[in-house]
Structure 1
Amino acid sequence: MPNFNVNSDETASTSQALLSDFQQLTDKLSEVRNKIQSLLSNGYSTPAAQQKFSPFFDEFAKGFQQVNDSLQGIGQYVKSVGDAFDQTDSDLGNNLN
C-alpha cells in the first residue's frame, strides 16, 4: 500500500511563491513589450529589418507567455493538491466523531 505524505504548509508556500513568480514574470513581459514597442515607434524604423524583428519578438513573447501560463497552472495544481489532502484528512477525522 502506498504511503502518502503531503505537507500542506509546504504546498501552500510553494504555490504562493509560484503564483507570485507568475505575476512578476507577467509584469516583466509587459514591461519588455512596452520597451520594444517604444523602440519600434521611436528608434528602430527600417524598411526590412523592422519587418522581421517585430514578428520575431511577437513569437518570443507568445512562447514566453505559454511557459509563464504553465507556471501558473503548476502553482494552482500544487495548491489544489495541498487543499485536497487537507480536506480529505479533515473529513476522515470528522467521520470518527
Structure 2
Amino acid sequence: MADYIVNDEKTTATAATTMNEYDIAVAQLNKIKADLDALTADGYNTPSAQRDFKPFVDEYTANYSKVTEGLTGISTYIKKYGEGMNQFDTDMGASLRG
C-alpha cells in the first residue's frame, strides 16, 4: 500500500513561488525578445542576419513560450493537488464524526 504525504503549506507555498518566479522569468524573456528584435531591426540587419539569425531568434522566442506555459501548468497542478488533498482530508474527518 502506498503512503501519501501531502503538506498543504508546502504545496501552496511552492505553487505561489513558482508563479512568482514565472512572472520574473516571463518579464526577463520578454526583455530579451525586445532586445533581440531591436537588434535585428537596426543593429544587425544584413542579408545574412535576416536569412540566418532572425529565424533563429524567432524559433528561440517561440520555444520559450512553451516553457513558460509548462511552468503555469505545473504551478496550477501543485496548487489544485494540495487544495484537493486538504479538502479530501477535511471530508474524511467530517465523515468519521457524522
| Shorter-chain TM-score above 0.5 | yes
Check conservation: 2:40, 2:49, Cα contact below 8 A: no
C-alpha distance in 2, partners of 1:16/1:85? 17
Q: TM-score, with normalisation over the residues of structure 1?
A: 0.90
C-alpha distance in 2, partners of 1:32/1:49? 17
Check conservation: 2:14, 2:75, Cα contact below 8 A: yes
Give CA deviations for 1:5-63 in whole Å, capped at 9, x if unaligned: 10000001111111111111111111111111111122111012222111101111111
Moved over 4 A (4+): none
Give CA deviations for 1:65-90 in whole Å, capped at 9, x if unaligned: 11121111111111111000011111
Check conservation: 1:8, 1:82, Cα contact below 8 A: yes
Q: Which amino acid aligns with 2:81?
A: V
Q: Determine if the alignment matches structure 1 residue 61 to structure 2 residue 61.
A: yes
* Paired-residue identity, %: 30
Which structure shows the bigger proportion of residues in helix conformation?
Answer: 2
Correspondence for 2:33: 33
Correspondence for 1:2: 2
C-alpha distance in 2, partners of 1:2/1:46? 61
Q: How many residues align?
A: 97
Q: TM-score, with normalisation over the residues of structure 2?
A: 0.89
Structure 2: give runs of 5+ residues left out of the alignment. none
